[in-house]
Amino acid sequence: MKVPFAPPRMDQRVIDEVADTLLSGWITTGPKTKKFEKLLTAYCNVPNVLALNSATAGLEIMLRWFGVKEGDEVILPAYTYSATANVVIHCGAKPVFVDVGDDFNILPSEIENAINKNTKVIMPVDFGGLPCDFQKVNNIFQSENIKNKFVPATDVQQQLGRILVLSDAAHSFGATVNNIKTGALTDVSVFSFHAVKNLTTGEGGAIALNLPKPFDNQSIYDYLCIYTLHGQNKDALAKMQKGNWRYDIIEAGFKCNMTDIMASIGLVELERYAETLERRKQIVANYNEAFAKYPWAQLPEFKSNWRESSYHLYPIRIKNCTEKQRDAIMQKMFDADIAVNVHFIPVPMFSFYTKLGYSLQHYPKAKDNYEREISLPLFYNLTEEQQQYVIDNLIKAVNETLVHRPAINS
């Protein structure tokens, strides 16, 4: 039996919607992208959502909108995907990594310790779909001590009057904190609709704008539509209107727009997203029930009395396990034709960042989480038989690696 890691849910409904777009004569940014944005806005209960070609683009665009530049610092968890840090580098700023907790998420206390006069943005990451403790993160900026450290350098920064919270919510679309969905938990949140995400558009992402007064989120959305399309003051749909061909470039913008082909997949996925979450929850429950009886299994957190995950990953950790043993367990799973993964290799481990002086040794919990973590297959069409095959083989692999000792020939 073969078990893939996270193939997207592609069926006739998706095919029909994409075919409708292909035959409509409009395949780039157009009516379906705008419809998708409106439905996302309603789902997240935020003022505005802008759909883009990736979450990475969304993070960078918002850093640039806020005026992040050389000499500035952005605080983020050491335990994240490289995109979270790379966009900071693209802006010429310095990533400031901090450690995470047992839930894989950034520690608010570590954020506070890392803030200085150069700090402009905090980028929490909702690991595996579990939202960060945004009440604590948002409360950090209420103290006069922290407020006094903020040195605004642009009109936008002056208007906010504090550090921006830019949530990397790539994993957590549909997750909640105190029954409030991600997107509405802080200033700005960015989602990913990559092929392996719960809700996919093939590639793609979205910015959820939730900025406080006196900001006008609609005006910011209108500006970002221009900024993410070369700085062009009319999109293709507007230019196609009779006699409306002339346009202007009002600044040197970027090219990040979502297409109607991508949005058509998202429209189907969003309509049935409650069903998707329920199915993923069932698979998680099956894994939890199977592994809870084993003392070596550290089960991931998915739900508490104040937050609930989007059930994006199943990141089990093996207790009392070295990195070498973890790798051996994974190899046994691969040998059984089961695709497993590690989320994530912490960013300070990568050669680009070690050359800049970063070291994982400064983030002991991130190091511990990484060395013992294995992400198991989790996707809508994962069958009961496949789930049991994954369960049986992980138990077997752990027992052979951590328990079994070969007999010594006398």
Local confidence pLDDT in tens for the 410 residues of the chain: 999 999 999 999 999 999 999 999 999 999 999 999 999 999 999 999 999 999 999 999 999 999 999 999 999 999 999 999 999 999 999 999 999 999 999 999 999 999 999 999 999 999 999 999 999 999 999 888 998 999 999 999 999 999 999 999 999 999 999 999 999 999 999 999 999 999 999 999 999 999 999 999 999 999 999 999 999 987 877 767 778 889 999 999 999 999 999 999 999 999 999 999 999 999 999 999 999 999 999 999 999 999 999 999 999 999 999 999 999 999 999 999 999 999 999 999 999 999 999 999 999 999 999 999 999 999 999 999 999 999 999 999 999 999 754 444 43
Distance CA 106, CA 98 (A): 7
Degrees (nearest 5) of the Cα angle 362, 363, 368? 130
| Tokens coding 76 | 């983020």
pLDDT of residue 234: 76
Contact 322, 367 (CB under 8 A): no
C-alpha dist (Å) from residue 364 to 101, 122, 157: 10, 21, 33
Please tell me whether residue 113 adopts helix, strand or coil conformation.
helix
- HSE, CB side, 13 Å, CA atoms: give it for residue 104: 34
C-alpha dist (Å) from residue 84 to 95, 97, 347, 374: 9, 11, 9, 21
pLDDT of residue 382: 98
pTM across the whole model = 0.96
Distance CA 409, CA 318 (A): 30
Contact 1, 386 (CB under 8 A): yes
- HSE, CB side, 13 Å, CA atoms: give it for residue 76: 31
Which pairs count as long-range contacts for 131-135, CB under 8 Å and 24+ apart, including other chains?
131/105, 131/169, 131/172, 131/175, 131/176, 131/177, 131/182, 131/185, 131/307, 131/309, 132/105, 132/106, 132/167, 133/105, 133/108, 133/177, 133/307, 134/165, 134/167, 134/177, 134/185, 134/186, 135/177, 135/178
For residues 353-369, b (16+ Cβ closer than 10 Å) or e, as one string? beeeebebeebebbbeb
pLDDT of residue 406: 47
Domain boundaries, the chain: 12-271, 273-403
Residue 400 burial (CB count, 10 A): 12
Which helix (H) or strand (E) covers residue 286, if one does? helix 273-291
pLDDT of residue 143: 87
Query: Bridge partners of 167?
Result: 189
pLDDT of residue 244: 80
Distance CA 405, CA 120 (A): 53
**Which among 195, 202, 219 is positioned nearest to 50, based on CA atoms?**
219
Helix axes 273-291 and 260-271, enclosed angle (nearest 10): 60
Query: Does CATH number 3.90.420.10 belong to domain 12-271?
Result: no
Identity of the residue numbered 286: N
Which helix (H) or strand (E) covers residue 238, if one does? helix 236-239
pLDDT of residue 404: 59
pLDDT of residue 162: 96
Query: Among the CATH numbers 3.40.50.720, 3.30.70.370, 3.90.1150.10, 3.40.50.150, which is that of 273-403?
Result: 3.90.1150.10
CA 329 to chain centre: 27
